[in-house]
Amino acid sequence: MRTEKVERLTKTTVLIVILIFLGLRFVYLEADFPSGITWSGVLYTDEGWYSNGAASYFISGNWLIEGDFNTIVNVPIFQLLQSLTFKLIGLSLFSARITPVVISVFMVLFIYLLVRKYTDKLTALVAASLLSTNYIVYAYSRLAILDLPMISFVLLSILVVLSFPKANHFIVIGASSVIFCFSVLTKTNALFALPVYLYATSLRQTNMRKRLSYCGWALVFVIILLSIYYLLINSSFSVDYKYFASLNIASRISWNPLSIVRNFIRAVWHGVQLEPVLYPLTLTVAPICMFISPNFRKNNLVVLSMIWIVSYLCVLAVYSYQPPRYILPLSVPIVILFSLSSISLYRKLQPRLSSYLPMIVGALIIIMNGFGILQYLQKPNFSFLNMAHDIQHTIEASTQHDQDVVLLGDIANSIGLVTGISSINATQGTRDLAWKLSFYEPEYYVSVGIEEIPINTIEEYFDVEEISTYNVFNNYYKGKAVHFYRITKR
């Protein structure tokens, strides 16, 4: 079969695979997260914490909850998008998750357009197929958390600054800088991509002086825009702003040289979780291709991907806390480099039979990941959804129709996404638990495991009656069940 026919058939097949697996992101969207992927408590808490402002606005008309964990102050963009979704289709776990799913579809499109700009349609389709079928990316795209939306905004900023070559350079750089700031205001970790964005900005020109000038302007725009935002919120919401920064940034960073080296090695090793074949193979093959092929190493997309990997690993090196979801940003440069490497080798080895080996390896990776996704969708579990509905029914059965109810607990915000019940965080927030108990007078409390410190504080002011326990997500988090209590003020 001629090479042209092989490539045409491959393109059609790959496009169909991409569309199928993008569509599967919407299937059983309220199902439990796949087991065995994460060990952190993200499944219980983070969806509620990082949608809380939008949910509160939908329920009560207030973006902020006094004394609580108001993440919207520091990272508002995702919650603003969530609020639009809630306004259109109402508050539910489905509506909370539909936003990141749609964003993840755009992320695949951005990857395709970016690779297509520097290579060809086949290479771009291979990159998009690897990303759309990746089991880990698929799983996290169906959680209302910040990682993939952050990556999508980074990609969009790079794509915009590399486009419109005949347009006014300062307008394009300014617009892309705004989008890059959106990525930082989606998740602060997006700052790792600043070197990547600046390198992409420099590609608008070939003259070295102009390239440095454009980088400088982009950096100035980003610094000014972020400074203005942070100055405004620090003056208006100082307590919430400083609390979030200390909890999620300062407390997790270590500048000890030995810790940095150890964390860097851990970060490199943890990348295997992204894909056990694709990740190590890419880190092996891409350098070989750079060594043997001058055109490969001069490809701007290769340089951009290498900067992305090194920059992100250096950022992770100062973080002692590295949950599995922190590997997600590596998915972008890995799928780009693998697609470039595999297609480059395929064409370099033509017409020998061995030329098909890179394509076969890529196809096997897609098949293995696709099989994992299909297997997961065959037997979905709904333990979290069922628990939330049972808690809702219990509360409604003992509450008057017009009575406002407050649910207390670290996972209460996530339950609130399902039930629409107002919720308050038990341990996170700018006020302590005693103040929250006095001010909000919650009627119910929910926790993962038996948390002694909150329970002891609650028992000082309330009578505590355990109503139910639930096995949620197979109790993956330290074997702890979810406990649901009725608390009555004395």
What digits encode the pLDDT tens for the residues 53-76?
999 999 989 999 999 999 999 999
CA dihedral sign of residues 139, 116, 222, 268? positive
At residue 464, the pLDDT reads 92
Query: Average pLDDT, stretch 351-375?
Result: 87
Evaluate whether 280 touches 226 at the Cβ level (below 8 Å).
no
Q: Measured between alpha carbons, how far is 448 from 383 in angstroms, rounded to an integer?
A: 14
**Whole-angstrom Cα distance, residue 365 to residue 95?**
31
| Distance of alpha carbon 381 from alpha carbon 34, whole angstroms | 9
Beta-bridge partners for 486 = 444, 465
- DSSP at 253: B
How far apart (Å, rounded) are the C-alpha atoms in residues 77 and 263? Answer: 29
- What would the DSSP string read from start to end of 291-328? HH-HHHHH-HHHHHHHHHHHHHHHHHTTBS---GGGGG
Give mean pLDDT, residues 413-427.
Answer: 94
What is the per-residue pLDDT across 291-330, written as a single tens digit (0 to 9) for each?
A: 887 888 888 999 999 999 999 999 999 988 889 999 999 9
Residues 212-228 have a mean pLDDT of: 95
Break the chain into its structural domains and give their ranges.
3-378, 383-489
- CA-CA distance, 263 to 333, in Å (whole number)? 20
Q: Rounded distance, CA 251 to CA 248, Å?
A: 6
| CB contact set of 288 (below 8 Å; sequence gap of 6+) | none
CATH T-level assignment (fold) for domain 383-489: D-Maltodextrin-Binding Protein; domain 2 (3.40.190)
pTM: 0.94
